[in-house]
Amino acid sequence: MAFAVSTACRPSLLLPPRQRSSPPRPRPLLCTPSTAAFRRGALSATTTPTPARAALPSTTGRNRIVCGKVTTTNNYPSSCRSRRSTMMHAAAWLLLQQLSPAAARVARAADDDSSVQVSKGSAAPNFTLRDQDGRAVSLSKFKGRPVVVYFYPADETPGCTKQACAFRDSYEKFKKAGAEVIGISGDDAASHKEFKKKYKLPFTLLSDEGNKVRKEWGVPADLFGTLPGRQTYVLDKNGVVQYIYNNQFQPEKHIGETLKILQSL
């Protein structure tokens, strides 16, 4: 008697063959171990994770992962500081490329190591500089009326041109307040003369070659000392500083801020 082969006990033969699938791809890790483990306190601060990718610092717990490293303090590790510093220096370098060769030399000559000597309520130190026509001009000449002294990086740069033209457009308001406007930069007299003529500037531009007065007044430099600072001083009729305003990247705000102070004197 012949028996047929039964498949009742072998259900796998009745099912289609299982398709082979590729092994699952490992999920990319931002950092190993995870920041969640640190939040739970599962790992100690001495463990150094594999820096596959930089993870954002955790805002909870004592331990954080920053740039693939563990830190228990509120300060970023030196690797982060160096990267941030490099990026800022690169930005400063790009700004300097927009300056003319002469203006770039003036910008690099700025020194921000001097301490601030001129502050609100102090008497502004006198100086004598050459104007756009080569004539010697002293600050004491303007005593008896308010004076706005503004230091700017260099002639013909975008921000300085905008600032100078804004002072020009509001010059009648300064005259109405009885004040005089003086612009100072490290450019020579010839550069000032061309700059003044090109934009029809009605006020005096003084040449501070070598940035002697800038250093004496303690005008801080910007972008790690690569760009001379943009700072405005409002002096009353007695030569006492009543207001100091510093804003490198919003040059037009200097005009509005100084006018408010002049109108209150």
Residues designated as active site: 160
SS3 assignment, position 230: coil
- Tokens 């020579």 correspond to 188
Q: Is the peptide bond before 125 cis (omega within 30 degrees of 0)?
A: no
Q: Which residues contact 105 (CB under 8 A, 6 or more apart)?
A: none
Q: How many CB atoms lie within 10 A of CB 139?
A: 19
Strand partners, 94: none
Tokens 């699952």, located at residue: 24
Which two tokens mark 33?
């171990």
- Write the CA distances from 160 to 38, 68, 98, 180, integer angstroms: 50, 42, 12, 18
Residue 183 backbone phi and psi in degrees, to 5:
-105, 135
